[in-house]
Amino acid sequence: MNRPLHGLYLVTPDWDDTHRLIAVSRQALQGGARILQYRHKTADARLRREQATALQQLCRDYPCLFIINDHVELCAELDADGIHVGGTDLRVDEVRQRVGPGKIVGASCYGDLQLARSAQQHGASYVAFGGFYPSRIKKYPVTTPFDIVTQAKKEIALPCAVIGGMTVDNSKPLITSGADMVAAISSVYLADHPQQAAREFCQLFGTI
């Protein structure tokens, strides 16, 4: 689990079709994605466990970290590589205490640098900012300032992810500003050729 937090960071859409989810995720991993977060806000416990188990096995077939969104118990049960929490979920320090020092803990910080400072203080492994652009998947106010990445790199000693309507083209200035990871959902999962879409993101980071 000592692989770097760097490059394309896949986040799954709310698909109930597990076969489709795994098939497209596999193509993205073949394209070079090295981090995958399982996020399904409307799944019941049975479907969530089924999909998380299948995705974890897929990630183990590749050099890909497997992160679970929100569900600490599922993270512990599957021994996933880590967990990601949002601003309205459990506190970072509580999550860190529950999963232990060896797991990745990511924190959504939206457009708030103070949230990133607090996340670092309480044991986060990385911080995520956004949304920067309108998304086809998630609905949120597009209010994150572009210079937050530059500011964060000056004072936050953690890898930084950016999320929200990310495409290969519009993520370039954020990578130039210091973003370590670009989180993508629709730009990969809804692409005509997911493997190629993932590859193009990875080429921005030189990870393939």
Domain ranges of the chain: 7-205
Mean pLDDT over all residues of the chain?
Answer: 93
Q: Which of 25, 108, 171, 187 is the catalytic position?
A: 108
Residue 119 burial by CB count (10 A; 0-12/13-18/19+): exposed, middle or buried?
buried
Give the per-residue pLDDT at 79: 97
Residues 7-205: name the CATH superfamily.
Answer: Aldolase class I (3.20.20.70)
Using CA atoms, how far residue 122 sits from 46, 49, 67, 116, 191, in Å, is: 32, 28, 19, 10, 37
Q: CB of 53 within 8 A of CB of 177? A: no
Q: For the ranges 25-29, 143-147, 188-192, which has the lowest average pLDDT?
A: 143-147
Query: How confident is the model over 49-64, as a mean pLDDT?
Result: 97
C-alpha atoms less than 13 angstroms from C-alpha of 92 in its C-beta half-sphere = 23
Q: Is the pLDDT of residue 143 over 80?
A: no
Q: For the ranges 129-133, 149-153, 182-186, which has the lowest average pLDDT?
A: 129-133
Q: How many CB atoms lie under 10 A from the CB of residue 189?
A: 23
Q: Is the pLDDT of residue 88 over 90?
A: no
Q: Is the pLDDT of residue 115 over 80?
A: yes
Q: CB of 32 within 8 A of CB of 202? A: yes
Is 39 catalytic? The answer is yes
pTM: 0.95
Q: CB of 34 within 8 A of CB of 208? A: no
**Alpha helices by DSSP H, 100-171:** 113-121, 148-155
Q: Which of 39, 48, 103, 199 is the catalytic position?
A: 39
**23-45 pLDDT, tens digit each:** 999 999 999 999 999 999 999 99
Q: To the nearest whole percent, how much of the chain has pLDDT over 70?
A: 94
Residues 6+ apart with CB under 8 A from 57: none
Give the per-residue pLDDT at 93: 94
Q: Which of 34, 96, 103, 138 is the catalytic position?
A: 138
C-alpha atoms less than 13 angstroms from C-alpha of 51 in its C-beta half-sphere = 30
Query: How confident is the model over 5-12, as a mean pLDDT?
Result: 97
